[in-house]
Amino acid sequence: MDIRGLQKTSLIDYPGKVCCTIFVGGCNLRCLYCYNKDLVLEPETLPFFPIDEVLTFLQKRISFLDGVCISGGEPTLQEDLPAFIGEIKNLGLSVKLDTNGMKPGIISRLLEDKMLDFIAIDIKAPFEKYSLVTGVRVDTSALKETINIVKNNVVEHEFRTTFVPDLLDKEDIIKIAQAVGGCRRFVLQRFLSSSDLIDSSFNVHEYLPPEDIYEAVYLCLEYVKAVDLRGF
């Protein structure tokens, strides 16, 4: 595991639980608005955390933590992800996985083996805009497969979209809700500007007014069971 970040305690990364958040290096997307630039482009420049040290840390915090959130970067690119999750589960901790959903085979295996307690899938854009928003050519059939796998599994899950003005509009959000139709929770996250984005020239010019956000939420509820707003 190429672990390049460790947040010892988080109250927001795993809904309803006190967790430790682990960040892995590398990603197969290049989203223009991503603020984890070093994790994605230059993980080797960040501190490295050996697995044994991470597991020892988790063991010492076992009475305080409820679970672990594995994020990135993109965790499903790590070949030893299943074995690492197994070690965490052996400690008695719940595991949440944050993923872009581009590796349905790995996600399916983890779910079939009951290694995940929560999975969050980031949906970047409507399918027809995926390559534009992610900065690479994307096979959206893989993402569609992941969406179906997760929706039809009993594991707790959420699909979430960062609403980035200038890249997405209200109609795009509704299209995404349609794409994940029937899911238990669709999360709309506010974009937070940063000076350290993958595309340093990217700049948000105008945010939607609150009434438009609420209208989008109302329309999304036609397709999904619940909509959460984060950061708005």
pLDDT of residue 208: 74
Domain span at residue 23 reads: 3-230
Helix (H) or strand (E) holding 21: strand 19-24
Give me the number of domains the chain comprises: 1
> What CATH number corresponds to the domain at position 130?
3.20.20.70
Beta bridge partners of 160: 122, 187
User: Looking at residue 32, what is its pLDDT?
Assistant: 86
Asked if residue 196 lies in contact with residue 35, where contact means CB atoms within 8 angstroms, the answer is: yes
Q: Of the candidates 113, 70, 107, which has an alpha carbon nearest to the alpha carbon of residue 88?
A: 70
**pLDDT (0 to 100) of residue 16:** 93
In sequence order, the 6+-apart residues with CB closer than 8 A to the CB of 33 are 162, 164, 167, 191, 197, 198, 199, 202
pLDDT at 209: 79
CA distance 54 to 40: 21
Asked whether the beta carbons of 170 and 132 are under 8 A apart, the reply is no
pLDDT of the residue at 195: 64
pLDDT at 52: 96
pTM higher than 0.75 = yes
Across the chain, which has 232 residues, the per-10-residue mean pLDDT values are: 96 95 97 89 95 96 96 96 97 97 97 97 97 93 97 95 89 96 94 73 71 90 95 83
pLDDT at 206: 66
